[in-house]
Amino acid sequence: MILTNSPINTDNSTTGNSTTGNSTHTVAVLAVQGAFLEHRLMLEKLGARVIELRQARDLEQSFDRLVLPGGESTVQAKLLREQNMLEPLRERIAGGMPVLGTCAGLILLAKNVEGNEVNGFGTLDVTVKRNAYGRQLGSFHCEADFGDLGKVPMTFIRAPYIAEVGSHAEVLATVDGHVVAARQGNQIGTSFHPELDDDTRIHQLFLDL
């Protein structure tokens, strides 16, 4: 792991970047709250069509992938229930629709959340600790290995980490001994925000699921 206090890289020459792609996928980004715009921009850079989910009628649109962005997980879960989107989306995830959950999105996916009742989807076999790094290390940037991708930049903002990985999930990345990314079949969850760096490989991995 390489830990820095440097600002988020915005140089398009970042190692491992992908160029604009020609994906045929339509990705729905949850847009009830949180940092959804950055995901949209990165996915469009890779050539995907992107729609935003704000209310139940948006689910009538055709899409084959789902992104759950960072933000406030309890607020997002509450709004998902109020907008009658939680159960329909849970069914799609359980049915195999690829999903990428980042930070709060990881918490929504998690089967268990330590000390909190988030009542999200509960489809990813992990236990998550919210705001795990405390205020003094609430936000930081580093590089670490991610699955078969090699080292990728990781931006953490008041991030959770994965305290326990169940038998159905696999570890994708660790930082300082803590699991910060996991996968279970069609589901990828990260503690950090890949959309805030220029490296597009994690989003491309998601599109390739």
> What tokens does 60 get?
């009538």
Q: Which of 38, 141, 195, 203 is catalytic?
A: 195
Strands 124-129 and 99-102: unpaired
Is residue 193 part of the annotated active site? The answer reads: yes
* Residue ranges of the binding site for L-glutamine: 71-73, 130, 157-158
Distances (CA, A) of 68 to 7, 55, 117, 149, 200: 24, 14, 18, 21, 17
Share of the chain residues as helix, strand and coil, in percent rounded to the nearest 5: 25, 30, 45
Helices (H), the chain: 37-45, 73-82, 86-94, 104-109, 201-207
Q: Which of 39, 103, 141, 203 is catalytic?
A: 103
**Residue 133 pLDDT:** 74
**Residue 20 pLDDT:** 52
Instruction: Give the pLDDT means over successive 10-residue stretches in the chain (209 positions).
Output: 38 42 90 95 98 98 98 95 98 99 98 88 97 70 98 96 98 97 99 97 98
Domains in the chain: boundaries: 26-208
Q: What is the DSSP string of 81-111?
A: HHTT-HHHHHHHHHTT--EEEETHHHHHHEE
Is residue 142 part of the annotated active site? The answer reads: no
* Residue ranges of the binding site: 71-73, 130, 157-158
Determine the CATH number of domain 26-208: 3.40.50.880
Q: Which of 75, 74, 33, 26 is nearest to 49 (CA)?
A: 26
**Residue 134 pLDDT:** 64
**Residue 138 pLDDT:** 65
Distances (CA, A) of 63 to 49, 78, 100, 148, 184: 9, 23, 14, 27, 20
**Residue 104 pLDDT:** 96
Is residue 168 part of the annotated active site? The answer reads: no
**Residue 15 pLDDT:** 39
The model's pTM is: 0.89
**Residue 19 pLDDT:** 46
**Residue 137 pLDDT:** 55
